[in-house]
Amino acid sequence: MTNRIVVALALAVLCTAGSGCSMFSGQGNHSIVVNDSQLNWLEVRYVSGMGQPPMLLSLQGSGHIRIKRGNSPMIQNAFSQDVANAKWNDLQEDQRTVEPAQMRDVFQALVDRGLLREPDKDFLASANRGVPTARITGMLNTEKVARVAVEPELVGFIRGLLKLFDENKPAADPRK
């Protein structure tokens, strides 16, 4: 099953890398190349719409992928102390590992879609209307990343990664 997610992730990155940048032609950061580094990392807090529970996608240059879902306050704040919250235990977490080179391709695809550009002001205005948003923090090539993404191309790629992750979940162990 792990090979299936590795192949699917690689295909998704390769298929979208060439065609995905066409929406904003001429605006891409094609001159920025993400280095192979286990020190590269991104945390993406994704909300698909107003009133929807957040998801946390953690990507590490070593190839480690972690996703957290649910309504627990720990998704928005890993240091939350709101243990009396009725939704405290509403938390699901999954993990996968891919090759570091494949993770670098994912980071590069995000950069090519505008991760390191200034947010588009036209799209930022729509953030308050409940469109999908992603709050992205991390480090790429020793440079800090801190950005709110609402642009359809960038948010769509993140949504595609989450969907790919869901489609390749291993089957539950029937013995449990």
What the chain holds in terms of domains, given with CATH numbers, is: 2-20+33-79+86-167 (3.30.1560)
pTM of the model: 0.78
CA–CA distance, 164 with 161 (Å, rounded to integer): 5
**DSSP β-bridge partners for residue 146:** 137
Q: Average pLDDT of 57-78?
A: 92
Position 119 scores a pLDDT of 83
pLDDT digits (tens, 9 = 90+) for 12-51: 544 444 444 433 334 444 578 999 999 999 999 999 988 8
Query: What average pLDDT does this structure show over 42-66?
Result: 93
Q: What is the mean pLDDT of residues 50-75?
A: 92
Give, for 121, the enclosing helix (H) or strand (E): helix 121-124
Tokens of 24: 């904003």
pLDDT tens profile 130-142 = 789 999 999 999 9
Whole-number Å distance between alpha carbons of 136 and 147: 5
